[in-house]
Structure 1
Amino acid sequence: MQVGILRGMELTRELEKAEPSGALLDLLAGLDLDALSADERVTVTILARKIKAFADYVELTVLRSVEDTAELAMAITEPEQTVARRKELTEDLRTLPRLMDQLRQGRLDLRRLEAVRDRVRNLPSVALITEVEDTLVEAAPGLTHSQLGRRTTALVAQADPTGYEQRHQKAKAERRVEIRPLPDGMAQLTAVLPAVEARMVHDLLCADAKDLPTDERTTDQKRADAFLDRFLGQAKERDVRVHVTISMETLMGLTEDPALLEGYGPISADTARELAMDGIWRAILLDEHDHADTIGKHTYRPGQRLKELVGVRAGNICSAPGCTRPIQEGDHVTPWPKGHTTLPNLKGLCTRHHHLKHDTHKATVDNDGTLHWTTPLNRSYTTTPHKY
């Protein structure tokens, strides 16, 4: 969109497609922010984030040529170590020129760009980084920070499986527990653990919290109390399973493609094969789009198998746009009996989005499982089944 056109335009959704510019900033500066409608607030937020992304691009590009970091640190009232680390970031981003350009265009924010940089920075060659960027460049603007991080992790593991496993073992050696004082007589206890064990601990606490009596406590409070009960030896014994999806080729050692740990994302092939040695296996057949299509029979009744397949097809993540919560409830997109109990019409949602879908949001589904959401402001968003 041309800058000249922006000058004569009112605040409309069409502006959300515009690249950052002085005219766009002038437009926002002249608005009465308290008088905006609900839909205009969404538009203004999008435009403000575009301008912020462009400002980050300018700062990083300029910082790349700064030699005296002490001078700059004094000018912007930041520790010199912070400025130096920021300068290191600019060097890493040289290897991601197209994603960097999306930052300039306001299509990608710095936080998501850093998520990619943190995962590709240890790849052994620029060629491999470019290979990952090739796959991400179209999808990145439409992914959340968490989704982009998971997608990049999987691509890095595919591009350099041996190095990925080596980095995992190095990171595993740095596992630790830390405590940080907080105000008001509280403290934060943090454990850095391998993903599989961390997932097991979390699921164990969730199961413990679910068994606690109904009272005024929130779920977070119950999990915290369950943690203390279990750590202090007051919790009951419980079996916990983690769900890992691995290709047959990787299971047989023919490839080193990463596996998918439910609720976390990609894990190394070696870790997945180690888990599979003592695990219960279930066959999953994929369609031509690499979406889960059929799940093998085991000991569950058909209704349970279909419910499990619904979760697998979504990567066990809520099917609402941008949501990264685990599936908590099942839903017929087209309500039963008009909508049938079939794989495309069944979706797994978190409790929050399940309520929204029935109260204020609308959803329709295509035969291939693509889900179309419409918000109260008549904005449309699309989600697709997880691609394995």
Structure 2
Amino acid sequence: MTTAAPPRSAVEGALVGWLQEQRPTVPRLPVGLLSPAEKAAELQRVQARRAMDSAYEAELVMALAGDRPDTDDPPPGHPGARRRGPGSPVPGASEFLPQELALVLNCSPTFAAGVLSDSYALVERMPAVWAACGEGRLDWFRARVFADVLGHASDEVVGVVVPALLPVAARLSSGRLRRRLVAAAVAADEEFAERRRIEAEARADVRVRPIGDGMSALTSELPAPVAAAMWSTIDQAAQLARTGGDDRPIGVLRAEAHAALVLRPWDTSRPAVTGHVTVVAPLPALHPAAGPPRDGVVAGGELGPSVDGTPITAGHLRELLAQLGALGVRTPDGGSLAVAVVDEDGAVLAAVSAAELRRLAVRGCRRHGGEAACGCSIVGRPMPVDGHDPSAAQERFLRLRDRTCRHPGCSQPAGRTDADHVLPYDCGGRTGCENLCCLCRTHHRLKTFARDWRFELLPDGTLSVTTPSGITRTTRPPGLRDLTDQPALPPPPRPPRRPVDPPPF
């Protein structure tokens, strides 16, 4: 693995800084003056330049990996050590490296892990393929085919296959190149194909992703015979519906058949699905008959208390109950109903359950009674608590405010996250909603154990995360419209390892 760069002089540092500040330029020819042959030649030159840039990117990625050794990770048996899941695709590099690269490239950790895997395979294990890209003789797409097929092959197989196929790789289609690589690897190692099959089966998974217009794609990765059997069953059910007179497109019939075969609505022996409904209520849209007085002044000239300057009154809650009733919103059988009250910018002011909403609306203000049309706030953000563990009210507020893990690029549902102290509790951070956010276990561990990361939480729930390399990404709670610019923060000095948080670690 590439090691860290040696010390450099002030002149060298200034030169690097000046070069990085220059706007990237690409030499372009006047397209309108080119003949068809010249356009074709220029397209080939663009492909060569793209391969050279990709090779340069791979070299930079491996250099960054050299700056992040796994010696800083929690060792096996230590609290917080990784117990499952893949570590870094680069041997000897920190398990948190894919997370940092994801923020640097502004991509998902899964994509970043793929970039790391390809870079390691080509730069470290197949330098001849990487050099061919760096010289523009081989495009990066075909180089990645080498990495995909031979990435887990032994050094002996790589040493035999690469010299045999690299000279002709640029002339082969990607499909033919893949087939010839596999055939050559099997010829060099009879167990190669079987190991690839086992590794592929270990990566089986079911994924869902939104594709827009209210639709999502459900993808299953599983052994080919199983997939073929499933497809045959789905298609037969769709064709049966077509025979029965349903003239909708066959794709729609297959999709419905697939859903029915999985959900099995006729099977009453399985546990019922539990529903959890969250209602987001914008406070400015609630207009009770006796609304709060202007400027927070109630009858008699008294100032009513407020939440961040905005009172949530009994009148607001009664109006909300009436609106929910008119819409027919109710708690699902065996499930729950939660209400998040937000201000005009989308920031969550309070979170209540359906039972609390009804109780508070009836009780009203403790000072003026249940029927008084006062402007006193009767519900708001949960108060800070003593000790490390958040209260139940704080947990509910955070889940409704954040809804997912707040680390940039992570979409883990809030129900599968930890309530993390942004300023660690053992460093003086208090257990209050202004210092808590939802982080999944992976990113909770990253914040606790990965060196030189910086997390900052603003009062409105905006979270800024800065990598050790100084790249800052910002996430905001869903629906928050008050966009706050966050400049890049300098990487902090390397601190001593912090004491380990109480459980869950």
What TM-score do the two structures reach when normalised by structure 2? Answer: 0.33
Which structure has more RCO (C-alpha within 8 Å, separation ≥ 6)?
Answer: 2
Q: Which has the larger radius of gyration?
A: 2
What TM-score do the two structures reach when normalised by structure 1? Answer: 0.42
